[in-house]
Amino acid sequence: MRGASSRVQGRGPLERMLRIHQAVQGGENPTAKSLAAEFEVSTKCVLRDVEFMRDRLQLPIEFDFSRNGFRYTQEVGAFPAMQITEGELFALVIAEKALQQYRGTSFEKPLLSAIRKMQQSLPDTISISLDEVDRTISFHTRAESILDLSIFDILAKATAAREQLELTYRKPGAARPEQRIVDPYHLANINGEWFLFAYDHLRKDIRTFVPARMKALRKTGRTFPKPQKFSLDQRLHGSFGVRSGEGSYEVVIRFDAQVADYIREKKWHDTQQLRELKQGGVELRMKLSSLVEVERWVLNWAGHAVVVKPAELVRSVADSARRILSRTGKT
């Protein structure tokens, strides 16, 4: 018993329940008192573990007064919490690695702890090596957002708890930051960047904020009810990124053969349609509500894309290209 105690001392509820399962299945008929002494916890803590095993994990555990200990009323195989496949564990590890750029937030330790506990709880037939995954798979971002992790942590918790915030926020090109009182509705990572969708009490409307532009924030002490009418999918409907508008545009862009494969390899928009062109090019059609973000995207293709319509986008791309040419070589 002392060997078992050294394994579970100071461990979490999953490992305690695993030990209870092993003891009961092995015919030890443990009591709450003996288990509490082994785990160095209270008997109430053990009884809560047993209750969880019975009610949530559907294990047929009961206290047998004739044996003065816990037993199973019918045969039990593997502990339910151990039913996880290598593929599921692998997916969790990949998810953890994808979040590496946000280390330092309150999410890091619980996520890592959960993954390690699941690995330790796997049966012997599961033999995936997390160290091997760490050496062979990684995520890299070309232009990673610069986040103040202390601000991001408060922001994430306030959004989950529906707590009102006061932001010190600096818009691009603004001379100085301004104060905003907001109800944070939704925090979303879109194309590798974080955005906060919140009700802005100054503008009396929902606005999109970039956490990297928040210089400071504090909780006002007020909460707000769950927004019944807010839908992120509806909010982003028709947008090319996060900017939605009131317009309705049929966008047609043609790409030459040099970049056509890059266009074919990705889904750029839910409404997209591709048409093959002669000499290896491809035509992309989309229906958008705003042209701001798609204009910047077209310019990224450095002359390998030609806008066919709408006329507004043809003109704005041409104007931007002329400004680039006029400033080339100037200091």
* Between 245 and 8, residue with greater pLDDT: 245
pLDDT at 125: 46
230 and 186 in contact (C-beta within 8 Å)?
yes
Instruction: Please give the C-alpha separations between residue 72 and each of 8, 20, 32, 307, 310, in angstroms, as whole numbers.
Output: 21, 11, 15, 71, 71
pLDDT single digits (tens) 14-28? 778 888 998 999 899
Indicate if the pLDDT at residue 262 is higher than 60: yes
pLDDT at 99: 60
pLDDT at 52: 87
285 and 250 in contact (C-beta within 8 Å)?
yes
**Closest residue by Cα to residue 177 from 167, 187, 185, 186:** 167
Does the model's pTM come out above 0.75?
Answer: no
Half-sphere exposure of 143 (CA within 13 A, CB side): 4
* Between 284 and 229, residue with greater pLDDT: 284
Tokens in use for 331?
A: 């200091």
Indicate if the pLDDT at residue 253 is higher than 80: yes
